[in-house]
Amino acid sequence: MDEKLRRHAEAEVREYGLGERFSFRSEDFFKCDLRDATVVTLYLLTQVNGYPGPRMASQLAKGTRVVSLDYPVPGWREEKSAEVKSEGNVEYTLHLYRR
């Protein structure tokens, strides 16, 4: 819901020539319709990641990818995880799930 951050993300996607493959929405994640999503990215604490789990399970199509930054989604089976570093040299763990 951070308009400045959304615009930054859109600019980065365009810079990489991927503008047609991505869309960003400034909506409340806990209320928005997720049925058309093919990838959902989360950056919520583990305790909070549990709340949208049932909603995502009911709305997301089979095969939709869910990527959680740093915190796992309780009750979901992780397909894989990877340690990554940002351009600013910050270390993160990416957790991949597939609906």
pLDDT tens profile 37-85: 999 988 888 778 778 878 888 999 999 999 999 999 888 899 999 999 9
Mean pLDDT taken over the chain:
89
Task: Round to whole Å and give the CA distance between 97 and 99.
Answer: 7
pLDDT of residue 23 exceeding 90 = no
Domain map of the chain by residue range? Answer: 1-32, 36-99
| Homologous superfamily, domain 36-99 | Vaccinia Virus protein VP39 (3.40.50.150)
Task: Round to whole Å and give the CA distance between 43 and 1.
Answer: 13
Chain position carrying tokens 């990838």: 39
- Confidence category of residue 1, pLDDT binned at 50, 70, 90: low
Task: Round to whole Å and give the CA distance between 53 and 43.
Answer: 13
Whole-prediction pTM value?
0.81
pLDDT at 51: 80
